[in-house]
Amino acid sequence: MGLNMFNSNNNTFAFEKGKYRLIPNILILSKNFSFEKNMMANLPRKSRICTLHSITAANYLVSEKYPIDFTIIDEAILYEKQKIIEGSSNILTEFYSSLIQNNSKATVVILFNENSSNYKNFKKLNYSTVLLIKNQYSIFLMTNFSYQIFCWQSYRSLLTRDFLVGESYPVDLYFYRPKGQEYSMFLSKGETLTTLKLSTLISRGIGHLYLKNQDFDELLKYALPKGAIHFSEELHYTRKKYKMLIGELIDNSKNDYMKRGQEINTLLIEIIDRIQNIINLFPSKVEALSELPFSDDSFLSHGINLAIYSLCFSKLLKFENATALDFAKAALLHDIGKAAIAYKIDTDTDINTDYKNHVEVSRQILKQRMIPISSLVYKLIHEHHETYNGLGYPNGLIGKSFSDESAFFSVLNNLDLFHRQQLENEYRPLKKSWGLFYKKSLSEEWLAPTYNPNVLQKINDIF
């Protein structure tokens, strides 16, 4: 597709009947038609894709300041007759530098050949650059995962509790519709917030409202309640740090895994500290559980939600601080294997083998990165899909053959998934979702309940 796909009039965002979606501009640099075809098959359908076969053409695109959200560079574009062009490292670096200079927030995925040395001294210029070595897992799936992590979200979140009846705001405000994975208009710019509108949000357990990233500065000029902007900034920065963490985990190009593992662990602890600080801003842990978790169906939101659940319930159940920290670490790391897994789930019981493998792939990635995490974190990650009735995976553990810690973590993991599935039909408070989850877990048609009854009872006592 030609350069006319990208022009200054092509807004990166599309508006349809009050709905707000991201439509990214994607650039693919490759000489291989089969590579392009497979890559496009793994990218979102609603996107503008431009494929180019030379760095020269790509340099023109960048020099003309075309907006580019996501760039995929196949290092093979620097090869002639299967031999790498002399000075290719400089050519790649110069193009990449120019690209980031003109699109500072762009996501860039660079795919290096397995025997290449170009990646060894490659210096990233932003946190959303991912270096992948071919033949390590599926580069197409990993690239699609990178898109989901770095390009999927284009909003800023504010807590519903910070909006006041009778006030009007200088920006459009949206709420998230899980079923359509879209943002629908809640309050138009200048429209007054009524008691009915606000009470509807609260009764349905809608804890977040959203605005477009580019509108945030305009909102800053408005006199919001004390702490509102702080909440938004902390949530935004926490998600950004989590993106950085995921980017480091899926980037498979570095050799110094020992140093890198220490850096990842430091980042992991920083994210958990930030989440704990946000929780502490709420009057109670129960209120934080009810209002803080995200409702969108994304990898990032699930990881952060599970960390919120882990920290809150650990405190309410009086777990030791070290145990709570391990639960939160497992929450943020447990699904990283999905980056390299092709999966589709049609029903609760139709879970294909590839999907089940994400548990083992998660373990492999974390071991390879040499992150200094405890044996409990590994156990929680490995057993987070096991169930009390033995129908879980990967090992089909039954009853008390897996630990209470794993049983607790499994309940929290599935509670978040269950709650967000319920939101696809109608918004409801977490407490209501828990009631359904609790009843369903104890009254399955199987001979034994899905989850450990003692763990379920302890959590139910909190609600």
Distance CA 15, CA 36 (A): 29
pLDDT for residue 50 is more than 70:
yes
Higher pLDDT, 24 or 381: 381
Taking each continuous run of H as one helix and of E as one strand, the counts in the chain are 17, 13
Band of the pLDDT at 221, cuts 50, 70, 90?
confident
Q: How many CA atoms lie within 13 A of 375 on its CB side?
A: 1
Q: Which amino acid is at 186?
A: F
pLDDT at 3 (0 to 100): 44
Residues 63-73 pLDDT 10s = 888 888 899 99
| Structural domains of the chain ordered from first start | 3-151 (3.40.50.2300), 155-225 (3.90.105), 231-462 (1.10.3210.10)
Give the H or E element holding residue 83: strand 83-84
Give the H or E element holding residue 21: strand 19-22
* Listed residue (403, 413, 400, 337) closest to 369, CA to CA: 337
Model pTM score: 0.90
The answer to whether the peptide bond before residue 394 is cis (omega within 30 degrees of 0) is yes
pLDDT for residue 74 is more than 90:
yes
Residues 162-199 pLDDT 10s = 888 999 999 999 988 877 778 889 999 999 999 999 99
Matching residue, tokens 């559980």: 289
Mean per-residue pLDDT over the chain, rounded: 85
Give the distance, in angstroms, between the CA of residue 331 and the centroid of all CA atoms in the same chain. 12
Distance CA 75, CA 70 (A): 16
- How far, CA to CA in Å, does 9 sit from each of 13, 67, 291, 461? 11, 10, 38, 56
pLDDT for residue 154 is more than 70:
no
Give the distance, in angstroms, between the CA of residue 76 and the centroid of all CA atoms in the same chain. 29
Q: How many CA atoms lie within 13 A of 392 on its CB side?
A: 25
Give every CB contact of residue 325 below 8 A, 6+ residues apart in sequence.
269, 272
pLDDT at 4 (0 to 100): 45
Residues 299-333 pLDDT 10s = 999 999 999 999 999 999 999 999 999 999 999 99
Q: How much of the chain exceeds pLDDT 90, in percent?
A: 45
Are the beta carbons of 25 and 64 closer than 8 angstroms? Answer: no
Q: Average pLDDT for residues 2-23, to the nearest whole number? A: 44
* Listed residue (415, 383, 412) closest to 396, CA to CA: 383
* Cβ-count burial 365-391 (b if 16+ within 10 Å, e if not): bbeebbbebeebbbbbbbbbbbbbbee
Residues 251-266 pLDDT 10s = 987 667 778 899 999 9
pLDDT for residue 346 is more than 50:
no
Q: Which amino acid is at 446?
A: W
| Partners of 157 in beta bridges | 210
- How far, CA to CA in Å, does 454 sit from each of 122, 256, 400, 423, 449? 52, 44, 11, 27, 11
Token pair listed for 309: 């659940």
Rounded (10°) CA dihedral 198, 209, 204, 278? -110
Matching residue, tokens 């340099």: 59
Residue 422: CB atoms within 10 Å: 18
Distance CA 285, CA 432 (A): 17
Give the H or E element holding residue 50: strand 48-52
Distance CA 243, CA 229 (A): 21
* Listed residue (361, 334, 372) closest to 257, CA to CA: 372
Pick left, alpha or beta for residue 88 (phi over 0 → left; psi -120 to 50 → alpha; otherwise beta).
alpha
